[in-house]
Structure 1
């Protein structure tokens, strides 16, 4: 796979913004159930919690929930579909051994999802709950959501183009720092290709801004601070219930 071919395939993703076809092609998958959950009103009523009046010694440790869960789950599911479609669309990714694909999926899906939220300009509001206790230790906290929103605002301030997002996602996906990869050198080369392409596009768009490329990489690195746990609990856990998130992602990636 040549560098030019890899760039072309990354750009294919920037031109595809529809996930409705997934529902028609795979009507019996777990993902279809998520995308069709809009009729499950009991989930919406269960999760439409109100802010608690209880005080907390540490404001950042207060639990949170989505103000409009039904709408947010729908857009989050759409972003997740596009994230997996991006991975599936890259021949260079598909050529990797299954083990390497799974490792990259496990470690990179959350940062890629955050980049997808930023690209789609997804805005969500939260409601404050009580302070964190052992009983609700799995609940998202204000501190975690603040970290996510800060990351999104940094990306929005950069006003990235679709091509910049595509190459940045390639650089994030092909992460040679992931432990246990068998094709380490190949994956490192793919990341370097994506970074070079990103640098070229950035320079063409902003020739007078020599620091823009480093700012983009810095913003991308901040996506690594958003935990898989927060992403799952805030956007998907109430919908997928006890289904393992990695199992869901694996089904989405490898379904034929």
Structure 2
């Protein structure tokens, strides 16, 4: 499933100043110490260009094979909605709470679905023409607006973060039952929302977490360090930018509709709450 975007290494402008300073060496040494633990358990992850540089945030990527990947992503979205629909405990909550949980947690649920279905993908970096080039080519403002709205793709840094997270889940070889418990922990995460039935949601999340711990303890001979690694990945899951998922996998399908709106309609949640 490993896939990387091959590209000629580039010298980043951020590396041109003080690359060998004492402060740089100290921070770099500390960074290597912090990553030692991860290297013991996870293989090297994919990278595109100079991922350690802040200018990665301004670089944009799109899917290399959108026809194939978007179709698989749509299948994952349908399976994610089916998982939610088959949970009676979810529909026992007030519809306001259902909406809040879907809006906050659909992105990490979707990423778990990508991992469970083994959906790997390659990214292709794109470049936006500079303002000077637009002026020299006498591009109209309309053409520029269209370029800005439809061709800029997603952040390279966020795309790499998503791919690396998928590889971490695959490296752990998460089982179907573990995925189910993880989805329960994610779905019943209230976050910053004030829910009408907060104690009920909190209890459901605790039950899912307890079930996951007991399953790991039973299947892995009380190897609870695995439980700690998985919980750490849950934190990373919640950091995935929902906008990046929409841009990479669904923008050509959704148009101006948001994935929030689509999911709420699929799940038959009361429409006047949108």
Q: Distance in 1 between matches of 2:185 and 2:224?
A: 19
Deviation at 1:225, TM superposition (A): 1.2
Specify whether residues 126 and 191 from structure 1 end up closer, same or farther in structure 2 by C-alpha distance, changes over 3 A only. Answer: same
Specify whether residues 152 and 132 from structure 1 end up closer, same or farther in structure 2 by C-alpha distance, changes over 3 A only. Answer: farther
Cα pair 1:104 1:178 within 8 Å, conserved: no
After the TM superposition, which segments of 4 or more aligned residues of structure 1 sit over 4 Å from their partners? 54-57, 131-135
User: What secondary structure, in the 3-state scheme, does the structure 2 residue paired with 1:179 have?
Assistant: coil
User: What secondary structure, in the 3-state scheme, does the structure 1 residue paired with 2:196 have?
Assistant: coil
Match of 1:204 among 195, 218, 227: 218
- C-alpha deviations, 1:109-142, integer Å up to 9, x for none? 0000000001111110011111698963863011
Q: Distance in 1 between matches of 2:70 and 2:248?
A: 9
Specify whether residues 63 and 101 from structure 1 end up closer, same or farther in structure 2 by C-alpha distance, changes over 3 A only. Answer: same
Deviation at 1:91, TM superposition (A): 0.6
1:188 aligned residue: 202
Cα pair 2:62 2:125 within 8 Å, conserved: yes
* Structure 1 residues without counterparts, runs of 5 or longer: 1-50
Instruction: Indicate the RMSD between aligned Cα atoms, in angstroms.
Output: 2.4
Q: Distance in 1 between matches of 2:12 and 2:266?
A: 40
* Structure 2 residues without counterparts, runs of 5 or longer: 1-6, 14-54, 132-144
Match of 1:171 among 177, 180, 185: 185
User: What secondary structure, in the 3-state scheme, does the structure 1 residue paired with 2:62 have?
Assistant: strand
1:106 aligned residue: 103
Identify the range of structure 1 (91-100 vs 148-157) with the bigger mean alpha-carbon deviation: 148-157
- C-alpha deviations, 1:188-239, integer Å up to 9, x for none? 0000000010011111111152211111111122111111100111100111
Is residue 2:58 matched to residue 1:61? yes
**Larger C-alpha radius of gyration, 1 or 2?**
2
Aligned length: 204
1:80 aligned residue: 77
2:228 aligned residue: 214
Deviation at 1:255, TM superposition (A): 7.2
Cα pair 2:216 2:222 within 8 Å, conserved: no
Match of 1:236 among 241, 250, 274: 250
Q: Distance in 2 between matches of 1:142 and 1:55?
A: 16
2:238 aligned residue: 224
1:119 aligned residue: 116
Cα pair 2:101 2:190 within 8 Å, conserved: no
Q: Distance in 1 between matches of 2:269 and 2:183?
A: 22
